[in-house]
Amino acid sequence: MRRFDGRVVMVTGAARGIGLGIVERLTSEGAAVAVADLDIEAGRAVAERLTGEGRKAVAVTCDVTSPESVAATVGEVVERLGRPDVLVNNAGGGLSLPDFDELTTGDWHRQLDVTLMGAVHCVQAALPHLSASPYGGAVVSVGSINGLAPFGSLAYSAGKAGLVNLTQNLAARYARRGVRFNVVTPGTTRTRAWDDQPDALERIEPTIPLGRIGRPADIAAAVAFLASDDAAWITGVTLPVDGGALLGAGRAFQNTDGEGAAAHGG
């Protein structure tokens, strides 16, 4: 399929993990993709690998916690690729933080700045361009099932829950301007976030109804659908991509003290 021929897509947190899976999928479907990441060298390596054979990708530096950095990034995307038609808010992984009763105000700000406010900054900067897209603009944010059920990791989960509500409100507010907003909520997905927990995935896998840990390509397929014209009449939805993990409503991942065993998603 070439659902994104002629379209420009900006993906944040795109150099690794789920973000990398998303840019691989979208470039394979014809999109010109801006690989936006704080690690510009990793982003350049991705862009260089993906460019060619009818595919186009450029690397741009982006710190989603800084509105000034995000505005500069969007300006660079416009200059190098053209007006973005699609924004994918993927940046926003879980930080290593203490349990709830030890969380400081600074801890909360550090997590929410990337998990929730990063998406706010990106939407604010890209919205004028998305509204002018001849295809109709689309924003797909990558949340987590942590934002939908009590899986623990409270600051991360609260940010992801806020992202769902933000998406619903933006969908209602900007529908008449032709911009759609949707969110994909991954379950446990095999990324570098699990590298320092070698046994965790083995413990989690048997609890997933569909019998395996997710792959970045699983999330990328859902993002590509919601960003494409196949979802032209869909806005404001939350799409779990979790192998059925939500069917357990988080119980399998709860410790006796109520703190989650692990964060899910990116």
CB atoms near residue 64 (< 10 Å): 26
* CA pair distance 22, 16, nearest whole angstrom: 10
* Whether 156 is catalytic: yes
Strand partners, 34: 10, 58
56, 135, 156, 174: which one is catalytic? Answer: 156
* CA pair distance 57, 40, nearest whole angstrom: 13
56, 135, 160, 174: which one is catalytic? Answer: 160
Q: Which two tokens stand for residue 76?
A: 């660079």
Report whether 4 contacts 226 (CB < 8 A): no
With CA atoms as reference, report the closest residue to 71 among 128, 7, 109. 128
Cα 43–46–47 angle (5° rounding)? Answer: 85
Place of tokens 């927990």: 197
Place of tokens 């939350």: 238
* Whether 135 is catalytic: no
Residues identified as active-site: 156, 160
